[in-house]
Amino acid sequence: METQKMLYLSKKDVERVDLPMEMIIQALDEAFKEKGLGKVEMPPKPGIHTMPDAFIHAMPAAVPSFGAAGCKWVSGFPENYKKDLPYINGLLILNDPETGIPLSVMDCIWITAMRTGAATAVAAKYLANMDSNTIGVLGCGVQGRTNLEALKIIMPELSEVKAYDISQDAANAYAEEMRAKTGLDIKIVNTPKEAVENSDVIVTAGPILKEPNPAIEFDWLKPGVFASPVDFDSYFKKSAFEGCEKFVTDDREQCLYYKSLGYFQHISEIYADLGEIAAGSKPGRENRDERIICANLGLAIDDMVTAIKIYRKAVDNNIGTWLEL
Ligand SMILES: NC(=O)c1ccc[n+]([C@@H]2O[C@H](COP(=O)([O-])OP(=O)(O)OC[C@H]3O[C@@H](n4cnc5c(N)ncnc54)[C@H](O)[C@@H]3O)[C@@H](O)[C@H]2O)c1
């Protein structure tokens, strides 16, 4: 029998492949449609927890229309910044859907950063006012960056960013980098309230905490707002969840599972799963004034459809190291 080989893609290799954000948004939009039509396989993610507020999750999924199957093994450790390490780390394995043989092992930091921003953009496509021009970003780290990059693509009229972070240095670095990257007017604000009030779009991307101390009140939210709490329910108060006209999530089952673990205690009824909206079985935004929160928990389908495109582009461009299995 012939010796099988798989392609190893380091963090630098994945970054060199440089899949454009536009392609990732498009891939995720298609993946959500497939999910809404019941054409993907994705069991809820199991996890282990070795430190308070930390997780290591297994995220398997198959998306047949993309020829994508595999599993991401990803960790999130909120205290890592003290050791100058990223919050999110991990590896992703892609398998050949016809033989099960591993095709590739790749670092998943870049993929997680980009696909989460792209998932916010897909949600915004269906749930935000497309002529939105002001965004509040709370948490100016990796996700604060990729969410803004993706939203700028889907909302061309976006012009003003109000950036808040508990670290002044993080906010300054964000403003400088994202001003240069996006050309947007980025103002640093000193309180969460200033970032939220009068914003058309809100992204919260601080740490996910099991016992959060949320700040955002319902009456801070402008009619018509679209909010993406990338950090789950760490920032939004009960009044905000209850007052919004629609609460959407990327996966109903996963959201209810998190609720059973103690997260999302104050969400109102789940209006829809993003896949149902993308596939057209439920309407998204129905008028300009609806306040809508879409909590994307991060799905393995997001990772697999991004990873297969990275793998194919890496093969075409001779990026990575072939290893014997
Ligand atoms: N939903 C998903 O699919 C998904 C995917 C990846 C990451 N995440 C979550 O996104 C969050 C951000 O991840 P990241 O990789 O950008 O981390 P990061 O460490 O790069 O950035 C976090 C930023 O938040 C700031 N911060 C901390 N506490 C804050 C507070 N109370 N208010 C405002 N800012 C605060 C930090 O100073 C830092 O700049 C994490 O909670 C992570 O678990 C979610």
CATH number of the domain at 136, please: 3.40.50.720
Type and span of the H or E element at 324: strand 321-324
283 alpha carbon to ligand 1 midpoint, in Å?
30
60 Cβ closer than 6 Å to some ligand 1 atom? no
Give CA separation, 93 vs 70, 105, 133, 277, in Å.
5, 5, 39, 29
Residue 235 Cβ < 6 Å to ligand 1: no
**Does one domain contain both 132 and 262?**
yes
Cβ of 300 below 6 Å from ligand 1: no
- In this structure, the answer to whether residues 237 and 268 fall within a common structural domain is yes
State whether 244 and 310 are in the same domain.
no
Atom 41, ligand 1: which residue's CA is nearest? Answer: 207
Top mutation candidate among 166, 209, 248 for ligand 1, by most atoms within 8 Å of CB: 166
- Distance from residue 62's CA to the centre of ligand 1 (Å): 28
Same domain, 100 and 169: no
Q: Are residues 44 and 145 in the same domain?
A: no
Judge if the beta carbon of residue 112 lies within 6 A of ligand 1.
yes
Residues 79 and 166 in one domain: no
Q: What is the pLDDT of residue 202?
A: 98
Ligand 1 centroid distance, CA of 138 (Å): 9
Number of the ligand 1 atom closest to the C-alpha atom of 170: 39
- Regarding whether 239 and 203 lie in a shared domain, the answer is yes
What is the spatial distance between Cα 204 and Cα 227, in angstroms, rounded to a whole number?
A: 8
Same domain, 225 and 122: yes
Considering the domain architecture, whether residues 291 and 305 belong to the same structural domain is answered as no
State in Å: Cα 222 to ligand 1 middle: 23
Handedness of CA 35, 312, 17, 179 (dihedral sign): negative
For 260, counting Cβ atoms within 10 Å of its Cβ (0-12 exposed, 13-18 middle, 19+ buried), the class is exposed
Q: How far is CA 258 from CA 76, 190, 244, 254, 283, in A?
A: 15, 31, 20, 6, 25
pLDDT of the chain, 325 residues: tens digit per residue: 888 999 999 999 999 999 999 999 999 999 999 999 999 999 988 999 999 999 999 999 999 999 999 999 999 999 999 999 999 999 999 999 999 999 999 999 999 999 999 999 999 999 999 999 999 999 999 999 999 999 999 999 999 999 999 999 999 999 999 999 999 999 999 999 999 999 999 999 999 987 888 999 999 999 999 999 999 999 999 999 999 999 999 999 999 999 998 899 999 899 999 999 999 999 999 999 999 999 999 999 999 999 999 999 999 999 999 999 9
**Nearest residue CA, atom 28 of ligand 1?**
206
Indicate whether residue 249 lines ligand 1 (CB < 6 A): no
Same domain, 243 and 218: yes
166 and 66 part of one domain: no
Q: For residue 297, with 0-12 CB atoms within 10 Å meaning exposed, 13-18 middle and 19 or more buried, which class applies?
A: buried
Atom 13 of ligand 1, nearest CA residue: 143
Range of the domain at 185: 118-298
Residue nearest to atom 21 of ligand 1 (CA): 141
Q: Is 267 helix (H, G, I), strand (E, B) or coil?
A: coil
How many domains does the structure of the chain reveal?
2
Query: Structure pTM?
Result: 0.97
Q: Which residues are part of the catalytic machinery?
A: 72
Question: For residue 268, what pLDDT is reported?
Answer: 82
pLDDT at residue 212, as a whole number: 85
